[in-house]
Every structure is written in structure tokens, then in C-alpha cells.
Amino acid sequence: MIISTNTKGKENFKYEIIFLLFQIFFIIIFCVSSTYPAGHNRQGRNILVNDSTFIEKHGQLRVEGTNIVDKNGTPLSLRGMSFFWSQWMGRFYNYNCVKWLRDNFKCTVLRAAMGVESGGYLQYPDIEMNKIKTVIDACIDLGIYVIIDWHDDNAQNYLPQSIDFFKKIAALYKDHPNVIYEIYNEPQQVSWTNVVKPYAKAVIESIRPIDPNNIIVVGTPTWSQDVDTASRNPLNYENIAYTLHFYAATHKQALRNKAITALNNGIALFVTEWGTCEATGTGFLDSAEVELWMNFMESNKLSWCNWSIADKVETSAALKPNVSSDGGWPDTSLTISGSLVRGLIRLYNDTINTGIRGNKEIYFNFGLNQNYPNPFNPETTIEYTVSKPGISKIKIYDITGKLVYTIEENNIQKGTYRYQWNGLNSSGAKLASGTYIYELETDGYRQAKKMILLK
Ligand code: CA
């Protein structure tokens, strides 16, 4: 049942008066409580807190201790998707796909994975460079961050080519805060001190005279798992982060312990690639372990990209075969992994909702409030604010991304609404304990939050 705080229908005059009183009330509250954080006044009115792109808001990033911080010095977590090897899934390296990943997935970062060997950049430098540049240019235009990943696992064997590539990229993009250099995807079981670190020093010292400040992410041995080893003998440069990769069905607490060691030793980590499944990129999808990793990454403010934007038949691919190259994918064309990960990106990036104003994408905070009580059993109240009349939907998903319940209002007026949800799915069956995601969709805007049903 929907209860509106505004009157509906023909009592427009009364509505205007009540609304005016509300405005006066909020102005008074604002004046009295000007020392409160911005989020404090959210209820009841839709307050525009920001109308710039994500990049305009956060700007030049830097590494401060174990954190990545934005231009204001505030720790920032970037969450998004990695593209697949450019030589094999190059069809997704286009502007429309980047735009879809920003607008529909809510990515604030994308990773362009330059395939180096196996018919990649070493063989076809111009073709592969153009794919990477297309993604970088799109991310710059659309106001999100982009990782330029030298996607190789023997990069020390191609040092001159790597240096040449990153010098070219730095010369082109040094003045754009969007760019993050990832100079070595996954070193294999080679020495940090004698192989990876010297390679990293050579590449970093080629980039730095051109681009003195953008973050450089450095791969670590054993397919970017030995972050603890790197932390004992770190690189002595500014704005360096270290790569941590995991595949949830293979890498568990033991790898999180390595990450804890690295953080305790004071280095910054960036999860430039992770998968929901086994280390092969396929096999079992371990959603319970994904949740543990999510909690770990969130509590340590780690940034991440999920592997991958691909329509290959394997568990980690976010897309089912033969989807369009240009985004616009219906929900049914996402794989289980794709649905789960998109839900997580939307969930955790929810403070930067996007919408169109004029012809410019804006980021702002609107009124989906935390449900209460939370955790709940069996009832909870979902409260949200709609800033324009029209259709509003609340969709409730389970943690695997399966839609379990929809609340739809076709003729909703502007105002704040409360919905009492009884923990039943759309067929009236009781739902299991667990985390659920509820997402408000109104006037082209989306916002999601998490709630917990505890029995
Ligand atoms: Ca720069």
C-alpha cells in the first residue's frame, strides 16, 4: 500500500499551501542545522547535491597511504567492469558500449585490456591501439575513469614495446584525470625483486617525465596475488598502487590475508580484475564467497573491475552469446555473473546516480532512503522521494540478481512515499533470509540500496 505525504487530485490549492509550508519548514531546518552533513536533510524533499560528471566531482586521483583519494583528499572507491582481451572481444570497445556501461551498469571506471601477445598489440599495434584509444576517449567524454591495462603475463619479455606504448599513451592523455595506467596485468610465478620490480621501475620512469601524477598500478607475482611480497619491498614512487586479482571460487581467506598483510605494510591495492567463478574464468559461480570479498573490498575501500565484458560461453562473461556490440542489452541477455555484478556495481555506486538534464548526464542524490527496520522480519518500510509525476517502480532483487518483487505506480505524484513490504515474493511466497537489493526507478533515474531479511 502506498501512502503519499502529498494530497492528490483536485485539492491543488491545499497542496500548494502544504508544499509551501514544507519549504519554509525545510529552510528553517537548514538554517538551524547548517552544521549537519548534507545527507541529514534528505527526507521529504529531493535535494540536488551535485550536477557534474563523476570526473568533474572527483578529478585528479592520488594515492595517500593505502587509499586512493580524490581531488579533495576524500578516499574514493571506483567500481566497474573490465573489457575482455582487446584482440578477441574488440567489438565491445566502442563509445555506445562505454556509455551503456556507465548509464545502465553504473560503472565509474572501465578497464581497457590491451591484448599484447597472441595476435594482439605486438602483431597489430595500430589496430589494437585504436581500440584502446576509442575506449579512453569515450570515458573522457562521458566523465568516468579508465584503466589502460597492458594485458600480458610475460611483460618483462616485451619491455621496449611496453615502454613505447605507455610513452605514447602518456603523451596523449597526461592531462586527463580519467587515466589510470596498469603496466603489467598478471606476472606469473616470477621474482618480485628480480623480475617484476625492475620492469615496473623502467616503465614508471618512462611515464613519469611525461605524466608526473596519474596513478600507476603495478602487477604482482603469481597472477597478481603476491601483494604481501610486493609490500615488503615496495617501489619508491608517488601514486603507485599494486594489483590484487581474485576469482571467488578459487581464492578465499588465504588471499584476503595476503591483502591484509599488504595493507598493514602500508601499500595501496587496486583490484583491477576479479571474477565470480574459478581462476580459469569459468566453472562454479561462488556467490557466497563473492559476498565475503565484497565486504572485504568495501571495508578496505578497494576499487575494483569485474572480469569481463564478453559474450564467450564461460562463467565470468557478463553477457550471453551474440548480444549487440553497442550495449542496450535487455536484462535477459546478462548471464548469472553479469546480473550479480551489475547489481553490485549499482548497489555500491548508488551515491552517484545518473540522469539526463538537457543533453548532459548529471550525477546527483535523490530520495531512496534506507529501509526500516533493517535487518527486518518479516515487514519493513521502504521510503522514497519522487521529484516528478509519472511512473515509479521499486524492484527488489535477491543477491543473485533475480527479481523477486516489483512495486509499480503508474500515476504517482511528486512527493515522499512509504511502502510497507512484507517479505513475500510476487507470488506471495515467503522469501529466505539474506541480502536483498531494492532499486527505485523513476523519471529515468535509478538508485539501489541493500536490506537484510533475517529470520
Ligand atoms: Ca597527469
CATH number at residue 223: 3.20.20.80
User: Which pLDDT value is given to residue 343?
Assistant: 86
Q: How far is the CA of 237 from the centre of ligand 1 (A)?
A: 15
Q: How far apart are CA 37 and CA 153, in angstroms?
A: 46
User: Which pLDDT value is given to residue 138?
Assistant: 97
Around Cβ 427, how many Cβ atoms within 10 Å? Answer: 7
**What contacts 213, CB < 8 A, 6 or more positions away?**
60, 62, 238, 239
Asked whether residue 289 falls in the same domain as residue 429, the answer is: no
Phi and psi of 199, rounded to 5°? -60, -50
Asked whether residue 148 falls in the same domain as residue 275, the answer is: yes
Active site residues: 186, 273
Q: Which residues of the chain have pLDDT under 50?
A: 1-10, 28-51, 351-365
User: Which pLDDT value is given to residue 39?
Assistant: 29
Are the C-beta atoms of 145 and 116 separated by less than 8 Å? no
User: Which pLDDT value is given to residue 114?
Assistant: 98
Phi and psi of 315, rounded to 5°? -60, -40
**What contacts 405, CB < 8 A, 6 or more positions away?**
395, 396, 421, 424, 425, 426
Q: How far is the CA of 242 from the centre of ligand 1 (A)?
A: 19
User: Which pLDDT value is given to residue 172?
Assistant: 98
Q: How far is the CA of 77 from the centre of ligand 1 (A)?
A: 19
User: Which pLDDT value is given to residue 48?
Assistant: 32
Half-sphere exposure at residue 422, Cβ-oriented, CA atoms within 13 angstroms: 7
Asked whether residue 249 falls in the same domain as residue 209, the answer is: yes
User: Which pLDDT value is given to residue 418?
Assistant: 80
Percent of the chain with pLDDT over 90: 69
Asked whether residue 30 falls in the same domain as residue 152, the answer is: no
Phi and psi of 181, rounded to 5°? -90, 130
User: Which pLDDT value is given to residue 4?
Assistant: 45
Q: How far is the CA of 76 from the centre of ligand 1 (A)?
A: 18
Q: How far is the CA of 177 from the centre of ligand 1 (A)?
A: 6
Q: How far apart are CA 140 and CA 354, in angstroms?
A: 16
Residue finishing a domain among 294, 329, 357: 357
Asked whether residue 291 falls in the same domain as residue 394, the answer is: no
Asked whether residue 15 falls in the same domain as residue 145, the answer is: no
Q: What are the cell numbers at 163?
A: 615502454
Q: How far is the CA of 215 from the centre of ligand 1 (A)?
A: 9
Residue finishing a domain among 301, 335, 357: 357
User: Which pLDDT value is given to residue 165?
Assistant: 98
User: Which pLDDT value is given to residue 52?
Assistant: 64
Asked whether residue 215 falls in the same domain as residue 126, the answer is: yes
Which residues are within 5 Å of ligand 1 (an ion), measured at CB? Answer: 174, 211, 213-214
Residue 305: name the closest of 144, 87, 435, 152 by CA. Answer: 144
Range(s) of the domain holding residue 107: 54-357
- Give the count of domains, the chain: 3
Q: How far apart are CA 110 and CA 92, in angstroms?
A: 12
Residue finishing a domain among 335, 357, 379: 357
Asked whether residue 202 falls in the same domain as residue 120, the answer is: yes
Q: How far apart are CA 420 and CA 164, in angstroms?
A: 60
User: Which pLDDT value is given to residue 112?
Assistant: 98
pTM: predicted TM-score of the whole model, two decimal places? 0.71
With respect to residue 1, please indicate whether it lies within any of the assigned structural domains: no
User: Which pLDDT value is given to residue 20?
Assistant: 60
With respect to residue 48, please indicate whether it lies within any of the assigned structural domains: no
